[in-house]
Amino acid sequence: MSAILLLVDQKENRRILAQWLAGRYQAIALEPNSIDELEALNFAFDLCILDGTALNRLWDWVRSRKASEEPVFLPFLLITPRQDINLATRYLWQGVDELLLSPVEKVELQARLEILLRTRQLSRSLEAANVQLQDLNQLKSQFISIASHEFRNPLNMISGSAGVLERSAATISPERQTQLFGFIKSAVKKMVALLDDVLVVTRGELGEQKLNLATRDLTALCQQITQEMKIADINYHQIEFTCNGDLQNARVDEKLLRHILLNLLSNAIKYSPPGEIVSFAVTGVNQKAIFSIEDRGIGIPKADLVRLFEPFHRASNVREIAGTGLGLAIVKQAVERHKGTIEVSSQVNVGTTFTVEIPIEYND
């Protein structure tokens, strides 16, 4: 229901208007004596009806309030006697959007109110769409920036390997050919993975995906993921895995869980010094699985924590460390799809801990 503010000095007119408006809108009838009193009330409204004396007293507030809402349209309707119409100046329209001469016909008043309120609603919708377009444009710019950077190395690898094969295919050994083809396949795989991540985030695919629950031993699954990370880690981090509680025969979506754990472990390794310890713990308690991944890396600045899970956002201290800013956005989607929660605590140059809690069912 639209809120209409009544600032009408004439008491009887204010009473009649408030009574008539009450059945159709949320009517707020006030009698402030000053701008300070009005500003102190600090409430929201969709349209304001004033008479001439109130407008003269509150002129600066009217203009200020309209300006504070821009670019959204906030309508002000002036009701004034016909004999006072000559007092209107060309500056009147800097604050007033509609003028009605009293006595006012109720049909005409309601028509003017509906037109003004509809215009306000349209302006709000337009502003919301404009904000969304700006966000999408920023997302596009971020993607172009990230993609151009992340695609450069694999494309150079493909181009270089293909060039060698083209020039020297007849003279290089089969082993060298196999190695070059391996480079090309690896580079293509990296580019496909990046595009898949972009599609997952921008389409919200994980949020729409149906949970595919299956019975798993979470201890065994987490041990397997730990081994996969150790094999892939060229900087020999020490991944310390611990488990506690009831973790057998848990019904979870393994694909979503892998999205979560692989991304978090990958980040812990990426942003930690070579050889440093990464702690990975899982606990089963009260029909929940609690996963904790702790590193002793560069940490995350406090100012970046607010936007940490936004697509393409990267912390300000990552410097030249490669990354797309998509991993944590995917993690958050996967956690929410599992109806779970994710929390992060971090201190710059000390480390970061991510804690994921998801409800689990058991297959007895």
Q: Which helix (H) or strand (E) holds 133?
A: helix 106-168
- Determine the Cα–Cα distance for residues 2 and 46; give it in Å rounded to an integer: 6
- Residue 186: pLDDT above 90? no
Tell me if 63 sits within 8 A of 21, measured CB to CB. no
Question: Taking CA 69 as the corner, what is the angle to CA 65 and CA 70, rounded to the nearest 5 degrees?
Answer: 120
DSSP E strand boundaries for the chain = 3-7, 26-29, 47-51, 76-81, 98-102, 214-216, 238-245, 250-252, 277-285, 288-295, 341-347, 351-359, 361-362
98: left (phi over 0), alpha (psi -120 to 50) or beta: beta
Report which of 319, 322, 268, 312 is spatially closest to residue 154, judged by C-alpha positions: 322
Residue with tokens 């409204």: 45
Residue with tokens 């892998």: 258
Q: For 84-135, what is each residue's pLDDT tens digit?
A: 666 556 567 778 888 888 888 888 988 999 999 999 999 999 999 998 888 7
For the question of whether the overall pTM of this predicted structure is more than 0.85, the answer is: no
Tell me if 166 sits within 8 A of 178, measured CB to CB. no
Q: Which of 74-78, 129-133, 192-196 bottoms out in mean pLDDT, i.e. has the lowest?
A: 192-196
- Determine the Cα–Cα distance for residues 19 and 288; give it in Å rounded to an integer: 56
The token duo for 160 is 């270089």
Question: Residue 74, Cβ neighbours under 10 Å: how many?
Answer: 20
- Residue 268: pLDDT above 60? yes
In which order are the strands placed within the sheet that holds 361-362? 214-216, 250-252, 361-362
**pLDDT reported for residue 219:** 94
**pLDDT reported for residue 212:** 84
Report which of 286, 300, 293, 304 is spatially closest to residue 342, judged by C-alpha positions: 293
Where do the domains of the chain lie, and which CATH numbers do they carry? 3-104 (3.40.50.2300), 139-203 (1.10.287), 214-362 (3.30.565.10)
Max distance between CA atoms of the chain, in angstroms, equals 102
- Determine the Cα–Cα distance for residues 300 and 166; give it in Å rounded to an integer: 46
**pLDDT reported for residue 116:** 94
**pLDDT reported for residue 198:** 72
**pLDDT reported for residue 316:** 87
- Determine the Cα–Cα distance for residues 231 and 250; give it in Å rounded to an integer: 26
**pLDDT reported for residue 1:** 82
Q: Which of 32-46, 63-77, 256-270, 328-342 bottoms out in mean pLDDT, i.e. has the lowest?
A: 32-46
